Structure 1
Amino acid sequence: MAPTESSPTVLIVDDETDLTTLYAAWLESEYDVVTATSGAEALATLDGGIDVALLDRRMPETSGDEVLAEIRRRDIGAQVAMLTAVEPDANITEMQFDDYVTKPVERQEVHATVEVLLERRTYDRHSRRFFSLASKKAALESANEHDTDEYDEIVDRMGEIRDEMDDTLETLTAKQAFTQLDAGIGVETDR
């Protein structure tokens, strides 16, 4: 399948040109792909047309962490995965990425990451935040960093979001029940 005008746009940022070329080749049959080989180049291409960004963390001059911060500051709305050889540690807890993938990666993993991030774009704010935290939790667990205060904080924040989501569902269910009850009463009185 070739990308169309309505195909999602994926930004790939890595200072290793061979990797940006490889990832682009893997994705360009399904997506519009934009590549950048530096953080500065990535910042110059950022606009509201980017749906997913795959960022390397360790780049000279402008890091992927800085590009991520700028994406969030500009409120571009892109889903962002850190696609990097940098093993996660407790300092990732405050980063506002949506997924964390450690290199080396296979074609299927890159495709799956993009697909998951595109699907998450349709989720509400609470669900997106929950999955971002779940990605951080999984990244820390894979790096054996789960006995830290930062890890515990992520688990606590996930619990808080889960509680908020449960409260919202209960409220919506109650409203739906009252709406159906009102509709049923209305039908009865019309007879």
Structure 2
Amino acid sequence: MSGNESAADVHTLVVDDEQEVADAYALRLRGYCDVETVYSGEAALSAVADTPVDIVLLDRHMPGMSGDDVLSELVARGYDGRVVMVTAVDPGIEVLDMPFDDYLCKPVDREDVRAVIDQQRRILAYETLGAYFSAEAKRAVLEAELDSETHREHERFVAVAEQAERLETRARRLLTDDEILAQFDEIDRGEM
């Protein structure tokens, strides 16, 4: 990925009960990012549980499970991506208490929906990078200081090492420039 030209490695889920609307947003994103559409709140939760989703474009007003309900359930499940409400529901004061990351009022044109994907990709990349740096610094210093048998057999060390690996993979996928990762790798965290 170079610059703002593409967010191809970003996994985006468009959720809207109006199939034509969801498909229109997906069409605007086709070739720009990896996009999937679903047409209900229940299907959205299923999609997020089944595949890694970086950004959810979520309609608020849907029959059955509303977008507000989906948002609450995503938070309860520990969803670690970004949520953008894309809706015709005029926002009221209640949005102050809602844990979404951006709010777009319909209709949204092609440039704006792509811009919000790129913006949220960048934010998620840096959040992921921060979590990776924290986990990897702990893993690296313990690996340098302890004998290999001690850290290989310790459950928490193994969990942190696996978490660091997952976070690094996601950060590299989301970043357009991995120079910051190279700089992090150059820091000597060896014996003190």
What TM-score range do you get, normalising by the shorter chain? 0.5 to 0.7
- 1:46 alignment partner, SS class: helix
Q: Deviations over 1:154-176 (max 9, x none)?
A: xxxxxxxxxxxxxxxxxxxxxxx
Mapped to 2, the partners of 1:10 and 1:124 lie a distance apart of 17
1:115 to 2:118 alignment: yes
Q: Which residues of structure 1 form unaligned runs of 5+? A: 126-191
The one-letter amino acid of 1:77's match is: D
- 1:123 alignment partner, SS class: helix
How many residue pairs were aligned?
A: 124
Mapped to 2, the partners of 1:111 and 1:30 lie a distance apart of 8
- 1:119 alignment partner, SS class: helix
1:81 to 2:84 alignment: yes
**Aligned residue number for residue 37 of structure 1:** 39
Residue 90 of structure 1: CA displacement?
A: 0.5
The one-letter amino acid of 1:18's match is: E
Mapped to 2, the partners of 1:95 and 1:33 lie a distance apart of 24
The one-letter amino acid of 2:22's match is: T
Q: Which residues of structure 2 form unaligned runs of 5+? A: 129-192
Identity across the alignment (%):
39
Contact 2:32 2:114 in 1 (8 A): no
**Aligned residue number for residue 132 of structure 1:** none
- 1:33 alignment partner, SS class: strand
Report matched runs for 1:1-191 at 5 Å. 7-47=9-49, 49-124=52-127
| RCO comparison, higher one (Cα < 8 Å, 6+) | 2
Q: Deviations over 1:43-92 (max 9, x none)?
A: 11113610000000000010001111111111121100000001111001
TM-score, length-normalised on structure 2? 0.60
The one-letter amino acid of 1:36's match is: V
Contact 1:71 1:78 in 2 (8 A): no
Structure 2 vs 1, CA of residues 122 and 65 (structure 1 numbering), >3 Å: closer, same or farther?
Answer: same
Mapped to 1, the partners of 2:102 and 2:126 lie a distance apart of 15
Which contiguous aligned blocks of 4+ residues in structure 1 show a shift greater than 6 angstroms? none
- 2:107 alignment partner, SS class: coil
RMSD of the TM alignment (CA)?
2.3
Residue 28 of structure 1: CA displacement?
A: 2.0
Contact 2:12 2:34 in 1 (8 A): yes
Residue 124 of structure 1: CA displacement?
A: 4.4
